[in-house]
Chains A and B, each alone.
Chain A
Amino acid sequence: MAEKVLMKGNEAIAEAAIRAGCRHYFGYPITPQTELAAYMAKRMPKIGGVFLQAESEVSAINMVYGVAGTGLRVMTSSSSPGVSLKQEGISYIAGADLPALIVNVQRGGPGLGGIQPSQSDYFQATKGGGHGDYHLIVLAPASVQEMADLTATAFDLADKYRMPTMILADGTMGQMMEPVVLPEPYEAKSEKPWAVTGTKCEREHNIINSLYLVPEELEKVNFARFEKYKTIEENEVMYEEYMMDDAEYCIVAFGIAARVSKNAINAARAKGIKVGLIRPITLWPFPKDVINKAADKVKAFISVELSMGQMIEDVKLAQECKKPVYLCNRAGGMIPEPEEIIAKLEELEGGND
């Protein structure tokens, strides 16, 4: 049995990335993901890896693009305003079909916003984020343990599908300390005949590129990429169900909002309100089917979010508006209290009586 260690979420991601074989990290300082970069700065030189503080987020993501082109595991991390700056590069990485990991430890926005936790980059993360038709696989950890576990998953999925993946955490997940069992180090094995490593004058030159001036070609590439996305939606959805068996109300929440929701559910059940939780672990692909099925059993959904209500749109779409979806939210760096969620539930119970 592997030993449990006490770690911050940000550090757990860093160590898990190293154990997943990532030896290249590029970043630019921003709160609240600082510990991740600091951990990499300390560790990478000791294990023959590369930590480089870039001149900007824009440069950092393009350094990631460079390494990703060689087929090696590579990552960057930032927080909301910094991730906005990375969007150009992320679009190119998606357009060139390269694997890479981007970590967003979200803070409040828009603009410079604040430095307190938020989930208001949901749209940006799950709908593409930059220009053009594309998706990232977006993973939303809800514990320090998951920060570590999903990091390895994110690298594996990136390689498997040749695309960028994102860990969408928030300030609390990044700063929170919890005991964690770190995943065992492993060597990732996947063939990457497309990588630029030098032709050795033995093969045609490889080109990492997202430019297609002939519209028919670009359309073909886009259609093919969305076929791949379809496969991912069919095979890679991850979620957790909590007390859904007899639930009359379904909370949908991810990350820190899901943790608060669980507390609220326990307290509400003590008061006799039958409520459960569906916690998306993959935000894209979104767990549409389980939410759609739940709609046949529950009276209503509550989307609990640290934003002005972004995921709520996907909850409505997933169950084709069969049941009403209510929002219970705080924004700007505030976190909803369990009492606020219970109050919402009691309001609904009252309305149904």
Chain B
Amino acid sequence: MAKVTFATDVCKGCGLCVDACPKQLIVLSNDKINKKGHSPAEITDQSKCIGCAFCATMCPDCVIKVER
């Protein structure tokens, strides 16, 4: 069981985390826009997260915190 949290306000919606996730669990939000006007990244199914932190490794903006 792992948990990822996104500091949504600083996300720039670049999508590098989306491609990094080996489980394809991350998407850019379809219905949310953050303060900066970006569609932030979010996790689709927290329960499937393996806590590998690949997403955080590729995130240029330190948006993601990973716990396991």
A and B touch in the complex (CB under 8 A): no
| Chain A residues near B (Cβ < 8 Å) | none
